[in-house]
Amino acid sequence: MAENKVKKLPKNKKRRSFFSTGTLFKWLRIAALVAPAAGHALTPGINAQEKLRRGIADYTGYQIWDGKFNVARLANGWMPYIVTCIITHGVQKLNGIIRSL
């Protein structure tokens, strides 16, 4: 008769937490991408057409009302996402370096 063997985990094995830092950073990047559009959508006193124009201008840099490209508008839409990506990837790299020490 074969014995049922139960594998035991090593005592120094860490348990997985409910949220990993990767999941947290993913949601931070998504929030940073959506934040400029949400800011325009929730601005009171502006009609829906103007909110849409401002949102498009922030993500594309193209201003529909002028027909011009504006780098500052493009930066308004993408800078929160770019900065968040740089910070989250940097923190992950630093965490890996610290763990390897």
Domain ranges across the chain: 21-100
Phi, psi angles (nearest 5°) of residue 14? -85, 145
Above 60 in pLDDT, residue 1? no
Record the pTM: 0.72
Above 90 in pLDDT, residue 15? no
Predicted pLDDT at 100 = 87
Question: Is 101 in a helix, a strand, or coil?
Answer: coil
In this structure, are residues 56 and 65 in contact, taking their beta carbons and an 8 Å threshold?
A: no
Cα–Cα nearest to 28, from 79, 75, 78, 80: 80
Q: What is the pLDDT of residues 18-66, one digit of tens each?
A: 668 888 899 999 999 999 999 999 999 999 999 999 999 999 999 888 8
Give the position of tokens 């990993």.
Answer: 20
In this structure, are residues 80 and 35 in contact, taking their beta carbons and an 8 Å threshold?
A: yes
